[in-house]
Amino acid sequence: MAKVFFKEDRCKGCELCTTVCPKGIVVMARDRINNKGFQPAQVIEQDKCIGCAFCAMICPDVVIEVEK
Ligand code: SF4
Ligand code: SF4
């Protein structure tokens, strides 16, 4: 099963990654902010991830890593 990791403190909250996930499991956290002052992206329902890495490819700040 694929696993998605975020270097959360690098996230600038642009939400690009949330637009490309075919499973709709990348969402913005609404319960916390990172040390840049943004609500960071996160994955919910990790078990639904198919490891396509679209989220990692689109992130301009190299926040996301996908382990297959
Ligand atoms: S690897 Fe693909 S399926 Fe998994 S969270 Fe990223 S965009 Fe979604
Ligand atoms: S694309 Fe990168 S910087 Fe933008 S919200 Fe997603 S993880 Fe954060």
- In this structure, what CATH number is given to the domain that contains residue 22? 3.30.70.20
Ligand 2 atom closest to the CA of 64, numbered from 1:
7
Q: What is the CA radius of gyration of the chain?
A: 11
pLDDT in tens, 3-46: 999 999 999 999 999 999 999 999 999 999 999 999 999 999 99
Residue 1 pLDDT greater than 90, yes or no:
no
Ligand 1 atom closest to the CA of 20, numbered from 1:
7
What whole-number distance in Å separates Cα of residue 65 and Cα of residue 44? 15
DSSP per residue, 32-67: ---TTSSPPEEESSGGG-----HHHHH-TT--EEEE
pLDDT of residue 11: 98
- Specify the residue with its C-alpha closest to ligand 2, atom 1: 59
pLDDT of residue 32: 97
Ligand 2: distance of its center to the CA of 1 in Å? Answer: 22
Q: How many domains does the chain have?
A: 1
Q: pTM for this one?
A: 0.96
